[in-house]
Structure 1
Amino acid sequence: MEDQREIAYVESVARGWTMEDGEDLSAMRRALREVRARALPMNMSMDLIRRTAEERWSS
C-alpha cells in the first residue's frame, strides 16, 4: 500500500478477500515460503508439464 501497510489478497471460486491482520499475514508468508521451497525450478516445471501433456494427451 502507499502507506507501507502490508495486505494480502486471497481469491477463491466463490469470492476474494483481503487480509490485514498481522497473524494472518505471517501465516500467509510461512505458507508461501513452504510452497516456494517445494517448487521445482521453472525449467524443470516446464519440462514436467510438457512431458505430462505428451504422455496424457498425445496419441
Structure 2
Amino acid sequence: MDTRLPPNVQPIAEGAHARAIGLPKDSCPYPANSPERKAWFEGYDGTPADDGPDLPIADA
C-alpha cells in the first residue's frame, strides 16, 4: 500500500509536523517565495494563507 502524500500536500504536512515537534518557524527548508514554502507555513500555522478573518454573522 502506498502511504505517500501527494506532492502538493507534503509541505503542509511537513510544516504541521515541524510545529508539533517544536521546531521554530524559521526552520522551513523551502526557498523564499516558493509555493512549497507558502504551503509549509500553512501547515505550521494550521490555517490556509488565503483564509480571511471570520466575519460576524449578520442578523436575519
**Please, what TM-score do these two structures have when normalized by structure 2?**
0.28
| Higher strand residue share | 1
Of the two structures, which has the highest relative contact order with CA contacts closer than 8 Å and spacing of 6 or more?
2
Highest CA radius of gyration, 1 or 2?
Answer: 1
